[in-house]
Amino acid sequence: MQRTYKTPPYADRHARRMTNSPEPIRFDTKIAVLLREDLEPWQRLNVTAFLVSGLGSQLPEVIGEPYEDADGVPYLPMFRQPVLVFEGTKETLRAAHTRALTRALPRALFTSDLFTTGGDRDNRAAVRAVGTGELDLVGLSVYGPRNAVDKVLKGARMHP
């Protein structure tokens, strides 16, 4: 069953505040990725890319407008706010996953099994084969109100 998320009420506040003002924008929401600290550098990059793709596909309010350079060449839209990357122990990741589930925040996960699969269908089957409490998490992305995401990430530290 595919779950779709409604645009949260706080997303409109972001849209109204998106201006060309030189003042820094303080977002009411946060996009965060939490990686297990023992991953190899290539794994960190790969996991991060996979995790944020999940958020962008289901949460249209996180995507900004398309880009265009001075010559009129178009480019795809990207997130409208920064993605903060954190790291933590296996236990920190498990606790964050539990807190994200408890708060029903939109999330994506990456398990160690996904390093050995061959594509999307195999990835979904690998996750489906393991119960929630037994997932060997190596990455988690989460989106929601800034304070809720901060609580989910308790114990994690910014990625170096």
Q: Which of 4-13, 52-61, 114-123 has the lowest mean pLDDT?
A: 4-13
User: What whole-number distance in Å separates Cα of residue 34 and Cα of residue 29?
Assistant: 16
Contacts with 31 (C-beta within 8 Å, 6 or more apart), sequence order? 52, 55, 62, 79, 81, 82, 83, 84, 141, 142, 143
Q: Round to the nearest angstrom and report the end-to-end CA distance of the chain.
A: 37
Counting residues of the chain whose pLDDT is more than 70, the rounded percentage is: 85
Q: What is the pLDDT of residue 96?
A: 97
Do the Cβ atoms of 109 and 138 come closer than 8 Å?
no
Burial (CB count within 10 angstroms: exposed 0-12, middle 13-18, buried 19+), residue 90 = middle
User: What whole-number distance in Å separates Cα of residue 139 and Cα of residue 130?
Assistant: 16
Average pLDDT over residues 99-124: 95
Average pLDDT over the chain, rounded to whole? 87
Give the amino acid at 23: E
Q: What is the pLDDT of residue 9?
A: 45
Residue 135 has pLDDT above 60, yes or no: yes
Q: Give the pLDDT confidence of 46-94 residue by residue, as tens digits.
A: 999 999 998 888 888 899 999 999 999 999 999 999 999 999 999 999 9
Q: For 149, how many CA atoms within 13 A lie in the half-sphere containing its CB?
A: 21
User: What whole-number distance in Å separates Cα of residue 93 and Cα of residue 155?
Assistant: 9
pTM value is 0.82
Do the Cβ atoms of 95 and 154 come closer than 8 Å?
yes
Local confidence band at 160 (pLDDT 50, 70, 90 cut-offs): confident
How is residue 16 written in tokens?
A: 């109204």
Contacts with 43 (C-beta within 8 Å, 6 or more apart), sequence order? 115, 138
